[in-house]
Amino acid sequence: MPGLETLALSVVAGRGARSEDEERSGWSHLLEHMVFKGAGNRSARDIVEVIEAQGGQINAATGYERTSFQVRALKGGLDLGSAVLADLVQRPTMDAGDLAREVQVVGQEIAEAADTPDDHVFEMAQDAAFAGQPLGRPILGTDASIARADPARLSAWRAQLYAPDTLVISASGAVDEDELLALAERDFGAASGAGVQNPSPAAFEGGARKLAKPLEQANLVFLLPTVGVRDPAYFALRLFAEILGGGMASRLFQEAREKRGLAYAVDAYSETYADTGVLGIFAGCAAKDAAELARVAAGEVKGMAGGVSEPELARAKAQLKASMFMAREQPLSRAEQAAVQVLLFDRTLPPAELAEQIDAVSQADLEALGAQMLAQRRSAGSVLGPKAALKGAEAFQAALFG
Q: Tell whether 184 and 212 lie within a shared domain.
A: no
Q: Determine, yes or no, domain membership for 89.
A: yes
Q: Phi and psi at residue 378, in whole multiples of 5°?
A: -135, 140
What's residue 402's pLDDT? 83
Q: Tell whether 290 and 380 lie within a shared domain.
A: yes
What's residue 162's pLDDT? 97
Mean pLDDT, residues 371-385 taken together = 96
Given 5, 20, 23, 32, the catalytic residue = 32
Q: How far apart are CA 115 and CA 336, in angstroms?
A: 31
Query: What domain range is 91 assigned to?
Result: 6-188
**Domain end point (choices 157, 188, 219):** 188
Q: Tell whether 217 and 178 lie within a shared domain.
A: no
32 annotated active-site: yes
Q: Tell whether 118 and 228 lie within a shared domain.
A: no
- The pLDDT-based confidence of 34 (bands split at 50, 70, 90) is very high
C-beta separation of 379 from 206 below 8 A? yes
Q: How far apart are CA 157 and CA 145, in angstroms?
A: 14
Mean pLDDT, residues 49-76 taken together = 97
- Structural domain total, the chain: 2
Q: How far apart are CA 263 and CA 260, in angstroms?
A: 8
Q: Determine, yes or no, domain membership for 392.
A: yes
Q: How far apart are CA 204 and CA 128, in angstroms?
A: 9
**Domain end point (choices 188, 220, 255):** 188
User: 111-154: per-residue pLDDT in tens?
Assistant: 999 999 999 999 999 999 999 999 999 999 999 999 999 999 99
Asked whether the predicted pLDDT for residue 105 surpasses 70, the reply is: yes
- The pLDDT-based confidence of 79 (bands split at 50, 70, 90) is very high
Q: Tell whether 58 and 134 lie within a shared domain.
A: yes
Q: Tell whether 99 and 152 lie within a shared domain.
A: yes
Q: How far apart are CA 225 and CA 360, in angstroms?
A: 23
What's residue 4's pLDDT? 61
Q: Tell whether 278 and 131 lie within a shared domain.
A: no
**Residue at 20: amino acid letter:** E
Q: Any idea what the CATH number is for the domain that residue 363 is in?
A: 3.30.830.10
Q: Determine, yes or no, domain membership for 194.
A: no
Q: Determine, yes or no, domain membership for 14.
A: yes
167-173: strand order across its sheet? 57-62, 67-74, 6-13, 167-173
Its pTM stands at 0.94
Q: Tell whether 384 and 249 lie within a shared domain.
A: yes
Mean pLDDT, residues 366-381 taken together = 96
Mean pLDDT, residues 232-257 taken together = 97
Q: Tell whether 352 and 223 lie within a shared domain.
A: yes
pLDDT more than 90, % of the chain: 94
What's residue 1's pLDDT? 37
- The pLDDT-based confidence of 23 (bands split at 50, 70, 90) is very high
Q: Tell whether 211 and 184 lie within a shared domain.
A: no
Mean pLDDT, residues 15-20 taken together = 97
pLDDT more than 70, % of the chain: 99
Q: Determine, yes or no, domain membership for 215.
A: yes
What's residue 172's pLDDT? 96
**Domain end point (choices 153, 188, 223):** 188
